[in-house]
Structure 1
Amino acid sequence: MIDGDDGLEFPRRGWAMLTVALAITMAVLDGAIANVALPTIARDLHANPSASIWVVNAYQLAVTVSLLPLASLGEIHGYQRVYRAGLALFTLASLDCALSHSLLGLTVARIVQGFGAAGIMSVNAALIRFITPRAQLGRAIGLNAMVVAIASAVGPTVAALILSLGSWPWLFAINVPIGVVAFAIAWSSLPRTPAAGRRFDALSALLSAATFGLLIAAIDGAGHASGAVRVLVMLTASLLCGVVLVRRQLSRPAPLLPVDLLRIPIFALSIATSIASFAAQMLAFVALPFYLENSLGRDPVQTGLLLTPWPAALAIVAPLAGRLSDRWPPSILGGAGLLILACGLLLVTTLPVHPSDLSLVWRFALCGVGFGLFQTPNNRTLIRSAPRARTGGASGMLGTARLLGQTGGTALVAAIFAAAPHHGSMVAVAVAAGFALLGAALSLIRLGTQAGREALAE
Structure 2
Amino acid sequence: MSWSKKQLSILITVSISSFMGTFLVSSINIALPAIEKSFGLNAISLSWIITAFLVATGMFLLPVGKLGDVSGNVRLFKLGLIIFTLASALCAGSPSGTWLIVARFVQGAGSAFTNTTGQAILVANFPARNRGQVIGISVASVYTGLATGPFIGGFLTQSLGWHSLFYVAVVLGILSTIIAFAFLEKDANEPGGKKKIDFRGTFVFMLGLVALVYGSSHIPSVFGWMLMAFGIMMLILFWIIESRLANPMFETHLFTHNKLFGFSNLAALINYTATSAIVFFLSLYLQKTQGLSPREAGAVIIAQPVMMALFSPVVGRLSDKIQPRYFATLGMAMCSVGLFAMSFFTSATPLGLIVLVLVWEGLGFAFFSSPNMNTIMSSVDKSRYGQASGIASSMRIFGQIVGMTIVTFFFAFYFGDRAVTVIEDNIFLTAMKWGFITFALISLAGIYFSFTRGNVERK
TM-score, reference length from structure 2: 0.90
Give me the whole-angstrom Cα distance separating, in 2, the residues matched to 1:205 and 1:444: 33
Contact kept, 8 Å, 1:131 with 1:190, in 2: the verdict is no
Give me the whole-angstrom Cα distance separating, in 1, the residues matched to 2:61 and 2:76: 11
SS in 2 for 1:197: coil
What is the CA distance between 1:146 and its match in structure 2? 1.7
1:271 aligns to what? 265
Contact kept, 8 Å, 2:55 with 2:210, in 1: the verdict is yes
What is the CA distance between 1:55 and its match in structure 2? 1.6
Q: Which of 212, 235, 239 is residue 228 of structure 2 equivalent to?
A: 235
Give me the whole-angstrom Cα distance separating, in 1, the residues matched to 2:298 and 2:388: 34
2:339 aligns to what? 345
Contact kept, 8 Å, 1:59 with 1:111, in 2: the verdict is yes
User: Are positions 1:248 and 2:241 aligned together?
Assistant: yes
Contact kept, 8 Å, 1:139 with 1:322, in 2: the verdict is yes
Q: Which of 176, 192, 196 is residue 199 of structure 1 equivalent to?
A: 196
Contact kept, 8 Å, 2:65 with 2:386, in 1: the verdict is yes
Give me the whole-angstrom Cα distance separating, in 2, the residues matched to 1:409 and 1:353: 24
Give me the whole-angstrom Cα distance separating, in 2, the residues matched to 1:434 and 1:154: 30
SS in 2 for 1:29: helix
What is the CA distance between 1:210 and its match in structure 2? 1.1
Contact kept, 8 Å, 2:215 with 2:227, in 1: the verdict is yes
CA change 1:59–1:288 in 2 (3 A) is same
Consecutive unaligned residues in structure 2, runs of 5 or more = 415-426
2:393 aligns to what? 399
Residues 8-407 of structure 1 mapped to structure 2, 5 A cutoff: 10-195=4-189, 196-222=193-219, 225=220, 227-228=221-222, 230-263=223-256, 264-351=258-345, 353-407=347-401
What is the CA distance between 1:352 and its match in structure 2? 6.2
Contact kept, 8 Å, 1:130 with 1:193, in 2: the verdict is no
1:3 aligns to what? none
Give me the whole-angstrom Cα distance separating, in 1, the residues matched to 2:389 and 2:213: 19
1:418 aligns to what? 412
CA change 1:337–1:128 in 2 (3 A) is same
CA change 1:249–1:353 in 2 (3 A) is closer
2:441 aligns to what? 434
Task: State which drifts further: 370-379 or 310-319.
Answer: 310-319
Letter in 1 for 2:142: V
Give me the whole-angstrom Cα distance separating, in 2, the residues matched to 1:218 and 1:153: 30
CA change 1:66–1:84 in 2 (3 A) is same
SS in 1 for 2:277: helix
CA change 1:319–1:57 in 2 (3 A) is same
Give me the whole-angstrom Cα distance separating, in 2, the residues matched to 1:393 and 1:56: 25
User: RMSD value over aligned CA atoms?
Assistant: 2.2
Contact kept, 8 Å, 1:211 with 1:238, in 2: the verdict is yes
Consecutive unaligned residues in structure 1, runs of 5 or more = 1-7
What is the CA distance between 1:294 and its match in structure 2? 1.5
CA change 1:153–1:209 in 2 (3 A) is farther
SS in 1 for 2:428: coil
Q: Deviations over 1:400-431 (max 9, x none)?
A: 10011112212222322333443222332332
Q: Deviations over 1:304-357 (max 9, x none)?
A: 111222112112221111112112222221011111122223233345652333
Letter in 2 for 1:207: V
Task: State which drifts further: 313-322 or 350-359.
Answer: 350-359
Contact kept, 8 Å, 1:99 with 1:169, in 2: the verdict is yes
Give me the whole-angstrom Cα distance separating, in 2, the residues matched to 1:425 and 1:161: 29
What is the CA distance between 1:136 and its match in structure 2? 0.4
Contact kept, 8 Å, 1:313 with 1:368, in 2: the verdict is yes
Contact kept, 8 Å, 1:220 with 1:407, in 2: the verdict is no
Contact kept, 8 Å, 2:243 with 2:251, in 1: the verdict is no
Task: State which drifts further: 368-377 or 342-351.
Answer: 342-351
The number of aligned residues is 442
Contact kept, 8 Å, 1:210 with 1:241, in 2: the verdict is yes
Give me the whole-angstrom Cα distance separating, in 2, the residues matched to 1:345 and 1:244: 34
CA change 1:426–1:153 in 2 (3 A) is farther
Letter in 1 for 2:211: L
Contact kept, 8 Å, 2:136 with 2:315, in 1: the verdict is yes
